[in-house]
Structures are given as structure tokens and as C-alpha cells.
Amino acid sequence: MIQRNVYAAMDAAELSSSVSDHFAHRWSDYDRQIRQAIPSYDFVLDLLVDIVRRGSSPPMSIVDAGIGTGQLAARLLTAFPEARLIGIDIVPDYLELAAQRLECYSQRVALIEGDLATLELPDGADLYVTSFALHHMTDATKQKVYRQMHAGLRADGVIVNVDFVDSPSRYYSSLFDQMRIELMRAEGMSVAEIDDRYVRHRQLEIPTSLVRQMGWLDSIGCCDVECFWKYLNLAMFGGRKRSW
């Protein structure tokens, strides 16, 4: 049985009820929907694991911030059989699905229900990952979360984020949206589904540009800040905590 702790409910100012509703309504069919909506979803999660695997030593302590149904966590627990993982999410139904998916790793997993924006994030991690979870936060909150992740890392620990990113160019921002919509149509999503899951969802997003977020990682004390992958308005990037 996976240990599960519940912390303070969401910060209403940060995670508006429409955003939490957006996530809460989608948990049951999430695994299918995310693959339709995010091109290369499996590829990018596998790439993240591969990049971490090639680091100097395997992570022993991992935090997955916004764990969802545990797709990334399962990959990490398989790739690093000695690692312990803490998964955090604000939606209890997602945590339930993550608990089911990760049951076979139960001795190595703890789940926390809470809001990343207000929670005190765990210490002593070798790896902080977050995938498609921060794009509803304001810049100030994203920076606070990055700072906390960095503070919670051991020296040489790594932060990796995969998320929607804003384009500084209005032209490319709109082109990327158009291309994402075409990809979703090709994946079999109806116009109504795309409107519900992408177009309206975009109005709830507060994406931040890749360059800006990489700059924040640099300024809070990360080295080796790098973009590992970018495709249209999606990117994976991260950095390593300087050992000074």
C-alpha cells in the first residue's frame, strides 16, 4: 500500500477553480487523451529518463511534481530500481490512479496531495521532475516553485521540466497553435474535443517562454542549464544544482 499524505487544499488565487475543474474532469480518460493532445508524449518522457540515466550517478531520491497518473514516475522507478520517489498532485483522483499504477513499487513510493504553489516541497532529492504541470502558474509562482525545487535538491541534483512554453513571437505562437490543432485532428480528435481540451484550455494557461525559464534556473543557482527537446510550443529543459 502506497503511503499517502494530504496537505492544504489548493490556493484559490493561483489554481482557479476552472483550472482544477479542467484537470479533475479529465482524470478518468487521461492516459488516452494526453497522447492525442501532446505530440511525442511517450518519446519525451522516455528521453527525460534517458538523459537522467546518462548522468554521473543514478538518482536515489526523486520528486515528481504534478505526478498525474504516474506515467513518468513509473518510467523513473523502472529505470532506477534503487530510487525512492515522492509524487505530488493537487487532484486526488489522479493520485488514486498513480497509486494503482505504482502499486508494484509501493515500498519506494509516497504520494502527497497538495498544491505545489503553497506546499513546502520535499528536501534531499537528487532529481526533481515536473511534466505538463506548471503552465497554469503565474511567473511569480513558477519562480517560487523552481526556487523550492532547487533548495530541495542535493548538490549536483537535477531539475527537469517538460511543459508548454510561450513563444515570444506572436506569429509563431499562432502558427504553433494551428499546427498543434492539425496534429490533434490527425490523432482523431473532433473539433469539439479540440475546442474543449486545447482552445479553451489555452485561455487558462499562463505559459512562460523557454528562454525566460532557463534564465530563472540559471539565476537560482543551476549550472548546465539546457533545452533537451523542443517541438512547437512544447519544451523539455533543466539544469543541475551547482556544487560550488
Contacting positions for ligand SAM (CB under 6 A): 15, 23, 34, 66-68, 71-72, 88-91, 94, 115-117, 131-133, 136
> Toward ligand SAM, which CB reaches closer, 61 or 131?
131
Bridge partners for 5 per DSSP: 112
User: Least CB distance from residue 22 to ligand SAM, whole Å?
Assistant: 9
In a 13 Å sphere around the CA of 201, the CA atoms on its Cβ side amount to 20
3-state helix, strand, coil split of the chain in percent (to 5) is 45, 25, 30
> Toward ligand SAM, which CB reaches closer, 24 or 175?
24
Given CA atoms 34, 37, 40, 44 in this order, what sign does their dihedral have?
negative
Residue nearest to ligand SAM (CB): 68
3-state secondary structure of 180: helix
> Toward ligand SAM, which CB reaches closer, 34 or 217?
34
User: Least CB distance from residue 121 to ligand SAM, whole Å?
Assistant: 10
User: Least CB distance from residue 168 to ligand SAM, whole Å?
Assistant: 23
- Strands 153-166, 109-113: pairing kind: unpaired
Residues 36 and 101 sit within 8 Å (Cβ to Cβ): no
Position 59, amino acid: P
> Toward ligand SAM, which CB reaches closer, 220 or 234?
234
User: Least CB distance from residue 244 to ligand SAM, whole Å?
Assistant: 30
